[in-house]
Copies of this chain bind each other. A is one copy, B any other.
Amino acid sequence: MWIETKTEMEEASRTRASFSRRVLNGLLLCSGDMEHLDKYMKDKSFVLQLAVCGLRGVTRVILANNPLSGGLILAALYWASPWQGLLGTLGVLASTLTAVITGQDSVEVAGGHHGFNGMLVSLLMGVYSSAGDWYWWLLLPVFLGSATCVFLFSGLSSFLDRWDLPAAVFPFNIIIILYLLCTGPEHPYFPHHSIKPPGALEPNATELIALQVIRGIPLGVGQIFACGDLGPSLLILGAVFLYSPLLTVHALLGSAVGTLTGLSMAVRHESLYSGLSGFNGALGCMAVGGFFIFSLWTHLFAIASAFFSAYANIALSNLMGTVGLPACSWAATLVATLMLLLTGSLAAYRIPTGQVRAPERNLQLRSQWEAGNTEERESADV
């Protein structure tokens, strides 16, 4: 049994190689935007299509677009808190269905563009609610809020389309602020926690713990989904990695920049430890990393965008905190919109909003396109 002939060994090694190649191919098929799935889904049932575009919607929050990543993120949310997971699922379904009913563009719906705002609204309604988990009345505002996101997304898209800007998470930010303003800490039906601004309102009595701060960096990525546990946050990072390793680097880098910014402005330690200082930086960094062709130049702009988002987040948190409101992701969304409007050297790397794919794919498409251009020019020269 221990004796193998050379041919057998070669055979086995070849099988292993072919197996790992097949695994790699499988992984590659599962990573990126999974556009091949769309052709496969065409003749499938409505429920299956809804599930796939819902899962795509889940990943749109972090500028990804991959149903498998969406599944992983949902799993992470259910892991962190089943109630939150349920709210997120209902939110993404409610807003996607509203989009179908109100006759939104079917390509957009299929791409999950109408799901992510509803999902975020639902998750944040759950997080801010002080009525505890499994408070079923909360489903009422969750449904209404998620549905209204579709209206805002459609209207804002028409408005911003003049500059080829995406509506991004503006609808979420607007709806959650309106919801929190409508209700209040002592609302009889939908009470919510009062929100403290991150500015140094109370002196930081205790020493800063470096390890906790570092732990806040991956948590910053989780906080994009209002998730403050390390395990699920790492799973979410894994989901981003499956979509695009480059985007993961941007997410972590942005979160680190956000934490650094928080340190430089002496925010509450709580804010650093929980990752709340980092998530706007992460979003700001990912937006530039995702909407522009990757290059050293773009990377520097991505870091600048992370810094700007993080500082703007502290400023807006202090402002909105005076009326008891959170700053959500207003800072990152506004800064990302600004970066997309920028003229000068960055504009040359801009990808039209409709053609954005995973960063790796963008790079590949650009080089193909450039190669094509060179060939054409050469053939024209001849």
Contacts and interface: CB of A to CB of B under 8 A. Distances in A.
Interface in A52-84: none
A339 B13 CA distance: 64
Given A152-B338, A315-B178, A157 B265 contact: no
Given A155-B338, A188-B266, A322-B323, 20 more contacts: A102-B345, A104-B343, A105-B344, A144-B307, A151-B304, A151-B342, A152-B338, A156-B341, A159-B163, A159-B341, A162-B162, A178-B311, A179-B315, A181-B314, A181-B319, A182-B311, A184-B200, A187-B200, A189-B264, A319-B323
Contacts of A311: 178, 182
Interface in A297-349: 304, 307-308, 311-312, 314-316, 318-319, 322-323, 337-339, 341-346
Contacts of A341: 154-156, 158-159
A105 B158 CA distance: 28
Interface in A73-109: 99, 102-105
A296 to B, nearest CB: 14
Given A159-B163, A344-B102, A183 B316 contact: no
A35 interface: no
Interface residues of A, number: 54
A233 to B, nearest CB: 26
The copy count of this chain in the complex is 3
A316 B180 CA distance: 11
A142 to B, nearest CB: 14
A334 to B, nearest CB: 10
A312 B179 CA distance: 8
Contact of A103 (B178, B184, B337, B344): B344
B179 A200 contact: no
Contact of A158 (B163, B186, B307): B163
Contacts of A151: 304, 308, 338-339, 342
A148 interface: yes
Contacts of A266: 187-189
Contacts of A307: 144
A199 interface: yes
Complex A-B, nearest 10 residue pairs according to Cβ-Cβ distance, in ascending order: A103-B345, A181-B315, A155-B341, A155-B338, A103-B344, A178-B315, A158-B341, A182-B315, A104-B344, A181-B318
